[in-house]
Chain A
Amino acid sequence: MKKYLLKRIGVSIVTLLAILLILFCMLEFMPGSPFNDEKLTADQVAVLNAKYGLDKPTIVRFGNYIKNMLTGDFGVSYTISKNTPISTLLQSRLPISIRIGGQAVLLGTLIGLILGIIAALKHNTIWDTLTTIISVLGVSLPSYVFALLLSYSLGFKLKWFPLLYAVDSPLNSSVLPTVALCMFTVATIARFTRTEMLEVLGSDYMLLAESKGISGPQLIIKHALRNALIPIITVLAPLIVGLMTGSLVIEKIFSIPGIGSLLVTAIQSNDYNVIIALSFIYSAMYIGIILVVDILYGVIDPRIRLAKGDGNE
């Protein structure tokens, strides 16, 4: 276990360093220098370089760069909001994105689980087919199609929910984005739960539990679902990727002031510092979550640890 843990953490750190190196190189090889005012003499440029530590060898500057990035000092924004430190830009935006993402995960998991359980219990009936159709649709259609459908029907035509996100009424105006964002989660979880539940329902220990007189919700939840849910951790990684990419589009459509829409704006207005800062944040979140998921899985199911870590070499 210890070896597996160390290895996973090691890989994560190396990955993070690799990303930092790529980002650093991009800044390094970008044409131009920070001090390209023609009035500056060579001596003045040298002084400025010394002041900002730019005369040091590359490796030292890379070290400084890592330190800055890890402590949240991402520099200033160029075009989106001139000379504002990026960390202040992020301060108000990060919580909004995380909240909407969190809502989508919770809602999606809940609906997905219910659909999956119903489909497994009513195997080969109309309910099962219906769930399959929903999950195929959810996986195949990009989240912006749902977002557009929802905002046109419920938002524009029926006027049940506001078309755009409003900071002062975060609950009401985040309904549509949450629903649009959670479709992928619903589909993935429903599909997975169905398959796993079917396998568990046909197992010997379910027969044993049933013959011991356990029935109803206790049988389903305590005996079947609990065992079916262990492998669901494996779909978490693709889910997170889906949420990250989905959030960009959803935040643009509903003009939510989160980090996804910030990235889209930054890309469209070539604000390099913001793009690089957000790339780092997205990568760090992704790597962190994957690490936690892998370790959790290793703790819960020792076979994974063997297959992934020590068994194959």
Chain B
Amino acid sequence: MSNQVDTVEFIKDDFEYVGADKISQVDVAYESQPYWKDVLSRLFKNKGAIVGLIFIILIGIMAVIGPNLNDYTYDSQIITEQNLAPRIPGAEKIGIFDGNEKMSTSTGMTKVNGYISADGTETGRENTYYWFGSDVLGRDIFTRVWVGTRISLYIALVAVLIDMLFGLGYGLISGYFGGAVDNAMQRFAEILNGIPNLVIVTLLIIVLKPGLATITFSLMITGWIGMSRIARAQMLKLKEQEFVLASRTLGAKNFFIIFKEILPNIFGQVITNTMFSIPNAIFTEAFLAFIGLGVPQPKASLGSLISDAFKSFTTHPYMIIAPVIVLAILMLSFNMLADGLRDAFDPKMKEM
């Protein structure tokens, strides 16, 4: 080595100034980011999650104001205005949503318009508009869809509350105290988990009346198990760590350690898991409604609207389109937001 160094000859060019832009490396001191800011910035970089969030907000706004946007109410029936296809002011002029409906009759395909009669006679409905059409009982589908969306959003809220209040507490306590407490609590959860959800819901509905309260109750019985498992697993991992020992040495009580020391450390997983349980809960409600165990008439949920429209969906397909699309967008949005949150809280997952 020393030989080589000796043979190097310095020439004048070696010491020439190359300018500022040729600098190969500069130490940049990044500003330290708080954890939440970091998570949020990762979340906002995820296009899917943002689209999901925007749609959830839009659907939420529509669920609040939607039913009041026209003069119809969700249960008002106008018997003469049954089975009218969607008609939107403005859009009718360019040939879409003009209230025309193709019907296949015995003589072939015919165009039917319930608003304006083909032979020029007065129908009295020239200025009537059903934006999403009207159903077989003459009710406005637009209003019913948004009233139904409220139920789905209520179910989403219930799912979050069950996860947060029940699943989280159950898992944390079971994991923290361990021993006989953990054993008993885990056996109970295991047995409950061994019974299919479907069976629990069906049996509950035999005992109670079908309705929102029953659906809420059945979600409460089974909805928390997944979250409790995650909370318990995280607790088992964290409770032996030094910061817990330190806190205990300083005289912290069990309650303080569980909720002030350990809970903040597992919040990422908790939120992600909660988000994933929302579409599941909405799905459960829509499924129950479809098999006839939903909210009783004349109330509507997205599932019961789809179920009702299904009966006539080959003759009046427009009736089923609106609730299906809203439900699909809602489920997709919650799933995409949950995916984005998972990646934001745990960037390692994204590499996979």
CB proximity of A199 to chain B, nearest CB, Å: 7
Q: Give bound CA distance, A252 to B293, whole Å.
A: 14
Residues of chain A with a CB closer than 8 A to B291's CB: 248-249, 252, 264, 267-268
B212 at the interface (CB under 8 A from A): no
Asked, given contacts A141-B331, A142-B286, A148-B320, whether A15 binds B194 with beta carbons under 8 Å apart, the answer is yes
User: Which of B21-29, B142-150, B197-205, B266-274 is found at the contact surface with chain A?
Assistant: B197-205
A263 at the interface (CB under 8 A from B): yes
Q: Give bound CA distance, A31 to B82, whole Å.
A: 42
User: Which of A33-41, A109-117, A203-211, A279-287 is found at the contact surface with chain B?
Assistant: A279-287
> Which of B199, B202, B306 is the one whose CB lies under 8 Å from A144?
B306
CB proximity of B21 to chain A, nearest CB, Å: 32
User: Which of B63-71, B108-116, B122-130, B332-340 is found at the contact surface with chain A?
Assistant: B332-340
B292 at the interface (CB under 8 A from A): yes
Residues of chain B with a CB closer than 8 A to A286's CB: 194-196
Q: Are A195 and B352 in contact (CB under 8 A)?
A: yes
Beta-carbon contacts under 8 Å, A1-43 to B: 11-12, 14-15, 18-19, 22-23, 26
Q: Are A148 and B198 in contact (CB under 8 A)?
A: no
Q: Give bound CA distance, A144 to B314, whole Å.
A: 15
CB proximity of A17 to chain B, nearest CB, Å: 9
Asked, given contacts A144-B306, A152-B313, A267-B291, whether A283 binds B335 with beta carbons under 8 Å apart, the answer is no
Q: Are B198 and A282 in contact (CB under 8 A)?
A: yes
User: Which of A57-65, A85-93, A132-140 is found at the contact surface with chain B?
Assistant: A132-140
Q: Give bound CA distance, A268 to B294, whole Å.
A: 11
CB proximity of A56 to chain B, nearest CB, Å: 25
Q: Are A11 and B195 in contact (CB under 8 A)?
A: no
Asked, given contacts A14-B191, A26-B206, A195-B352, whether A141 binds B183 with beta carbons under 8 Å apart, the answer is no
Beta-carbon contacts under 8 Å, A77-107 to B: none
A150 at the interface (CB under 8 A from B): no
Q: Are B332 and A283 in contact (CB under 8 A)?
A: no
B187 at the interface (CB under 8 A from A): yes
> Which of A139, A140, A144, A270 is the one whose CB lies under 8 Å from B290?
A144
Q: Give bound CA distance, A145 to B310, whole Å.
A: 11
Closest to A8 in B: B190
Closest to B194 in A: A15
Beta-carbon contacts under 8 Å, B319-352 to A: 320, 324, 327-328, 331-332, 334-336, 339, 352
Which of B198, B293, B306 has most A Cβ within 10 Å?
B198
B279 at the interface (CB under 8 A from A): yes
CB proximity of A192 to chain B, nearest CB, Å: 11
Residues of chain B with a CB closer than 8 A to A50's CB: none
Residues of chain B with a CB closer than 8 A to A152's CB: 313-314, 317
Residues of chain B with a CB closer than 8 A to A142's CB: 283, 286-287, 290, 327, 331
Q: Give bound CA distance, A55 to B183, whole Å.
A: 39
Closest to B183 in A: A313
Residues of chain B with a CB closer than 8 A to A198's CB: 352
Closest to A261 in B: B291
Residues of chain A with a CB closer than 8 A to B327's CB: 142, 145
Q: Are A283 and B352 in contact (CB under 8 A)?
A: no
Q: Give bound CA distance, A67 to B205, whole Å.
A: 26
A267-297 interface code vs B (CB 8 A; 1 in, 0 out): 1101010010001001100110010000000
> Which of A12, A195, A275, A282 is the one whose CB lies under 8 Å from B196?
A282
Asked, given contacts A140-B328, A148-B320, whether A18 binds B191 with beta carbons under 8 Å apart, the answer is yes
CB proximity of A247 to chain B, nearest CB, Å: 10
Residues of chain B with a CB closer than 8 A to A252's CB: 290-291
Query: What are 23 A-B contacts with C-beta separation under 8 Å?
Result: A11-B190, A11-B191, A15-B190, A19-B199, A26-B203, A136-B332, A145-B324, A148-B306, A148-B310, A156-B314, A241-B196, A244-B198, A245-B287, A253-B310, A263-B202, A268-B291, A275-B206, A279-B202, A282-B196, A282-B198, A312-B182, A312-B236, A313-B182
